[in-house]
Amino acid sequence: MCRLAILALCCLALAGCAAGTARPLPTPDAAAEHSRLLVMLRAAPPHFNPVDGYSGSYQSAPDREAHRRIALQLAREHQLVLVTDWPMPALGLDCFVMQAARSEDVMPAVQALAADARVESVEPMQLFHVLGQGDPLYSLQPAVKAWHLSELHALSTGKGQLIAELDSGVELSHPDLLGQVAQARNFVGDGDSGFFPAEIHGTEVAGIIAAKAGNGIGIAGIAPDARLLTLRACWQERTDAPAAVCSSFTLAKALQFALQSRVRIVNLSLAGPHDRLLERLLDVAFAHQVTVVSALDEASSDGGFPAAYPGVLPVAGEHAASTLKGLLRAPGEDIPTTKPGGAFGFVAGASFAAAQVSGLVALLRELSPAIRPDALQAALGSGTALGLTPPRSAMIDACAAVARASGRCACDCRAASATLSVSR
């Protein structure tokens, strides 16, 4: 009956959505991104605030125009077109996007610009993708049983925690997400249109992390009292498919905003090639004790980026065939969550395993606000934190993680007591 009720609810919500007039998504041309590169120049003194784009004192600062003139000159000298720019004060840089005539011209331009004394660094634009696996409708929220979620929520609900979700657009009006989003920003395209589309993957991830609890509908997020910073850095290329693409530039802009917003948890349910600009921003995040959770890319031999980057918490489903050091396993199949159109459905994949871990990190941080990211990783590390070797399919023991992180027992107290005595 539960499954039939949810399916009926999905059908009604989707029918209502279809009856309306859908606004076309402002999607960049992914093919064009392959002919772009990112050129970094040393920034002016940090007297500006780029949170609202190029505005206020930075808009009128002489240094901005001087930098732009240098960028235009560099573009002309190397047969490039200056497309846009964005400040990266976390790195002391201004980032300029330039476009080559053809994708095969990008690497020669990168090499030539790297030798120019005016350029701090340069790299090709890279593309990332989200890591969902469709909507298999089989069962209900696995974390309720596997992680004793109701018992965890009696102790912690993520209150006071701000989580940055870098993803595709989130349906802000979804009944299970109303009031859960502290701020929504769009870093795709010019980011100035005020248009924030409701896209599939971002809405699914948001619900898993922070859907309302106890409102009589839908699901309960892992951290229902946490607040979300929904940062649209990825775009859905088709309105009927959850697949989404992100660029290193859109992700860098969103990461910069997350750092300025002083978040302590970042969810990256996506993967792509190793990228130096993003690595540098992640290093700044780690220096500020930010916990970064990322989905494992099973198609990549090393687990993919950013999951395999040192300091990131890599997450996969319980059956992922990976031996990546420090890998955390969470439920990765048959997870009910929010969908655009006020709907609900089931999802599977590393994206959604990572979203659950981001929610669990919020619960642990509420209990232990001063806990460091390395201590969080140790608390979440199943048997590995105790020097044990768990079986490949062993998932995070959420009850033990709470005990390790806070010294308090939320559930399975006999086992938690044994865990604490072994870890001491």
What pLDDT score was predicted for residue 402? 93
What pLDDT score was predicted for residue 283? 98
What pLDDT score was predicted for residue 417? 55
What pLDDT score was predicted for residue 27? 63
pLDDT in tens, the chain (424 residues): 444 444 444 443 443 333 333 444 456 666 678 899 999 998 765 544 444 443 334 444 557 788 899 999 999 999 999 999 999 999 999 999 999 999 999 999 999 999 999 999 999 999 998 876 543 332 367 888 889 888 999 999 999 999 999 999 999 999 999 999 999 999 998 655 567 899 999 999 999 999 998 888 889 999 999 999 999 999 998 887 788 999 999 999 999 999 999 999 999 999 999 999 999 999 999 999 999 999 999 889 899 999 999 999 999 988 888 888 889 999 998 899 999 999 999 999 999 999 999 999 999 999 999 999 999 999 998 544 433 344 455 789 999 999 999 988 878 666 555 554 434 3
Answer whether 110's CB lies under 8 Å from 74's CB.
Answer: no
Domains and CATH numbers, the chain: 30-125 (3.30.70.260), 129-423 (3.40.50.200)
Would the pTM count as exceeding 0.75?
Answer: yes
What pLDDT score was predicted for residue 244? 93
